[in-house]
Amino acid sequence: MEITEHNTESVPTGQDNYYAGSLNNKESDDRPGKTEISTEKGQTQKKGVRFWAIIVAICVAGLLTALEATITSTALPTIISDLGGADKYVWVVNGYFLTMTATQPLFGQLSNVFGRRWPTIIATAAFILGSGICGGADNIATLIAGRAIQGIGAGGINVMVEIIVCDLLPLRERGNYLALIFGLIAVGTALGPFFGGLIVQHTTWRWVFYLNLPVGGFALVLLVLFLRVKYQKETALATKLGRIDCLGDAIFAGSIVSTLIALSWAGTLYPWSSYHIILSLLLGLLGLVGFLIFEGSKFSLNPTMPIHLFSNQTSLTAFILTFLHSVVTMWALYFLPVYFQGVLGSTPSYSGVQLLPTILILVPFAATAGSLLAKFGRYRPIHHIGYALMTIGFGLFSLLDENSSTAKWVIFQVIESAGAGLIIPTLLPAVQAELTDADNALSTATWAFIRSFGLIWGTTIPAAIFNNRFDELSARISDAAVVAELTGGKAYEHATRTFLETLSNDTRAQVVSVFSDGLRRTWQVAIAFSAFGFLLVILQKEVPLRKELETEYGMTEAKKKSEKVPPTDENLQTEAQI
């Protein structure tokens, strides 16, 4: 099949349009750079094999990155037992999140400079390479290095997946496809611990990583064959490199590293009150503030995170709602297993089964929200209903204890997960509603970073609350040795069936009771987060979503051999064979 790849030099670049304010609802049909997706009557063009091949590839890649984010949680004890390095175990998990979060804005800018194709392919290849290094690791340092490379790939994949969807589809249609992608990501995140437990139980832990090689390779082949999109080609490498915000990226990466180190150490290596944590966290957060100031200054000519992305009320509100949604979604996904294992005494693999109501409900409700968004173009009512259901769900979670019936925790999960699912595909369109399609890459990368940043806080905040509440209630446990083992920030990591089985019946009942009450406080704080999101939706404006796509990065069109396009300096044609 012949694909013609255009060099649209006559089209204003996304960089030129960085400060292009808000978009008028009325659009003419003769503006350059527009990729026609809908006719004037709103009829959508038929999507071909190449479109669906791209969608399949990015869905597979996104699912793999989500699985890797959590699959090590149940496999980690076996891995550490084999490789050693128990004092460095936290970096097997956090090394992945650190590089993933720090590189996301950079990939957004790289996609504007080098196009969407190669950053996506390189990110996928990096993820596969990191997986191979992890699977073959014979010491903890090699494993951590592999996880860091995996994280770089995951950061690029997560951003590029969303950018590609924005390039291929107009704003009104994106919800349907984002629902599919984010639904799969949520499934991967939730089922990761379950699959990790199964793998280490029935085979070697190395298959936790080796499984990514054939599946990721399949996605990579599809991307190489079918991902052909237009972009602004500049022959001079110096010109391309000059468009990268190197200083801004350095400030951002340093700030993120400092912040995530603090969050990784807090409650494990050092207490929250330690100067190690306070200083590192303060430097990181101040660095992020400094980064935003720099991005808005005259010294940043090509900002990675332009301030105008936050300049309108709708986008700013949607960014905050994204952070809150990520926090409370991870809150539920990480602490429902704590309830199942630490209170009900389930095994890690069975707790994955008990979490199925969340997974089975989240995906169809996300799909429903995407369809409603495409049909009616309204996101505010969906956000209100979603945050209301999540608030109610967390309130119901606070009623759970060791005597709760199966029906209760199933129904409560259904309510909370329905709310979370409704919100998933509608946040990015809300962010982009008052921005132009020229801002797709940078707004998507910024949104992806905020989402990932929220996921990290979604485990850190509830863990701190749970541990602190456990310490407050620890006097109810009669065994002083058990109290010493669980207090001081160690309750969360011991909320497992394996630990409970080491206790006497009386002590076990006391510990389970304190675990249950600690979780109750955790759920109560989650109510406040989701309720704040519900109130914040009031500040959102309902901006009509565009039905047409205006971008220089749309999918290249196949040319008939009989078609002759005269070569000019302004419209160079490159023929590529697939």
Averaged pLDDT, 87-91: 73
pLDDT confidence tier of residue 264, bands split at 50, 70 and 90: confident
Kindly give, in sequence order, each residue whose CB lies less than 8 Å from that of residue 205, ignoring residues fewer than 6 positions away. Answer: 75, 78, 79, 82, 199
* Band of pLDDT at residue 573, cut at 50, 70 and 90: very low
- Annotated domain spans of the chain: 1-17+41-231+548-578, 245-301, 311-546
Say what the pLDDT of residue 558 is. 52
Closest to 259 (Cα-Cα) out of 108, 251, 328:
251
Q: In the predicted model, what is the mean pLDDT of the chain?
A: 82
Same fold, 1-17+41-231+548-578 and 311-546: yes
The continuous run of DSSP H or E covering 573 comes out as: strand 571-577
Query: C-alpha angle 417/419/425, rounded to 5°?
Result: 100
Q: Given pLDDT bands bounded at 50, 70 and 90, which one contains residue 504?
A: very high
User: If you average pLDDT over residues 516-530, what whole number do you get?
Assistant: 96
Token digits for 90? 């936290």
* Range picked from 23-32, 74-83, 191-200, 532-541 for highest mean pLDDT: 532-541
Please, what is the Cα angle at 142 between 139 and 148, to 5 degrees? Answer: 140
Fold (CATH) for 311-546: Growth Hormone; Chain: A; (1.20.1250)
Name which of 448, 432, 456, 508 is nearest 477 in CA terms. Answer: 508
Token pair for 141? 């340092």
Number of CB atoms found within 10 A of residue 566's CB: 6
The pLDDT assigned to 261 comes to 87
Rounded Cα distance between 5 and 457, Å, is 42
pLDDT value of residue 574: 35
Q: Give the whole-angstrom CA distance, residue 480 versus residue 474.
A: 9
**Close Cβ partners of 576 (under 8 Å, ≥ 6 residues apart):** 2, 3, 4, 5, 228
Say yes or no: domain 1-17+41-231+548-578 is CATH 1.20.1250.20. Answer: yes
pLDDT at site 562: 43
Are 514 and 476 a contacting pair, CB within 8 Å?
yes
pLDDT class of 433 with cuts at 50, 70, 90:
confident
How much is the pLDDT for 148?
93
Decide if pLDDT at 557 tops 50.
Answer: yes
Q: Please report the DSSP string for 256-299 in residue order.
A: HHHHHHHHHHBTTTB-TTSHHHHHHHHHHHHHHHHHHHHHTSTT
Highest mean pLDDT among 86-95, 206-215, 349-358: 206-215
- d(CA 318, CA 313) in angstroms, rounded, equals 8
pLDDT of residue 38: 39
What pLDDT score was predicted for residue 127? 95
Q: Can you give the pLDDT at residue 6?
A: 37
Q: How far apart are CA 389 and CA 384, in angstroms?
A: 9
CB 468 within 8 A of CB 522: no
Q: Could you give the percent of the chain with pLDDT greater than 90?
A: 36
